[in-house]
């Protein structure tokens, strides 16, 4: 992806500015690709992440705090994400028996089944996004990202 071509400029862009623009363009491209793969399931990337976190609990409940801590994209509207997943019957919520102020959140069987299909869609997105990279490229890229 050539930054100057994408933003249609002939003016040289200073390296640091070009780098940040490039990162933004790549992030947008990744988000567009992922969103298009999740669209058939009527699930956002954040909802997908909630489902993966709940699956990773292996039957143990999670609470909103756990979900917030483990989300890739930190946000304050986790309650709304869970509410939308409840409407889709992908998760269920119940009041903890030992602490009535605590709400337990579980993935449902329907959520597990849908998530398996979404996993395949995300694999396609991953393959599309990373098609021009070999293993060494990916290792180098991750090493560079670790510098953040």
* pLDDT tens per residue, range 65-121: 889 888 877 767 888 999 999 999 999 998 867 777 788 999 999 999 999 999 999
The answer to whether position 29 is within a domain reads no
The answer to whether position 10 is within a domain reads no
Q: Is 78 helix (H, G, I), strand (E, B) or coil?
A: helix
DSSP, res 61: -
Determine the pLDDT at residue 118: 96
CB atoms inside a 10 Å sphere around CB 147: 5
Determine the pLDDT at residue 95: 84
Please tell me the least confidently modeled range out of 1-15, 20-34, 45-59.
1-15
Q: Write phi, then psi, for 96 (nearest 5 degrees).
A: -65, 135
**What value does the mean pLDDT of the chain take?**
90
* Total number of domains in the chain: 1
The answer to whether position 27 is within a domain reads no
The answer to whether position 37 is within a domain reads no
Q: What is the C-alpha to C-alpha distance for residues 40 and 136, in angstroms, rounded to an integer?
A: 33
* Helices and strands (H, E) in the chain, number of each type: 7, 2
The answer to whether position 84 is within a domain reads yes
The answer to whether position 126 is within a domain reads no
The answer to whether position 62 is within a domain reads yes
The answer to whether position 20 is within a domain reads no
Domain that includes residue 82, residue range = 42-111
Q: What is the C-alpha to C-alpha distance for residues 89 and 84, in angstroms, rounded to an integer?
A: 9
Determine the pLDDT at residue 133: 95
E-assigned strand segments in the chain: 91-95, 103-107
CATH code of the domain covering residue 98 = 1.10.10.10
Kindly compute the dihedral angle of the four CA atoms of residues 48, 85, 57, 33, in this order, to the nearest 10 degrees: 0
| Residues 130-140: tens digit of each pLDDT | 999 999 999 99
DSSP, res 46: H
Q: What is the C-alpha to C-alpha distance for residues 78 and 61, in angstroms, rounded to an integer?
A: 15
Q: Nearest CA to 37 among 26, 27, 48, 28?
A: 48
């Amino acid at each position: 992806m050539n930054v100057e071509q994408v933003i249609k400029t002939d003016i040289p862009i200073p390296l640091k500015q070009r780098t940040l623009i490039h990162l933004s363009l790549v992030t947008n491209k990744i988000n567009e690709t992922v969103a298009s793969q999740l669209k058939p399931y009527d699930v956002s990337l954040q909802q997908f992440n909630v489902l993966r976190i709940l699956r990773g609990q292996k039957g143990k409940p999670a609470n909103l705090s756990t979900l917030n801590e483990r989300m890739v994209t930190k946000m304050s509207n986790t309650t709304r994400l869970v509410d939308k997943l409840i409407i889709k019957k992908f998760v269920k919520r119940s009041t903890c028996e030992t602490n009535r102020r605590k709400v337990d959140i579980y993935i449902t069987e329907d959520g597990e089944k849908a998530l398996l299909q979404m996993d395949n869609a995300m694999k396609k997105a991953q393959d599309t996004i990373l098609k021009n990279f070999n293993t060494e490229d990916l290792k180098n890229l991750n090493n560079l990202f670790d510098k953040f």
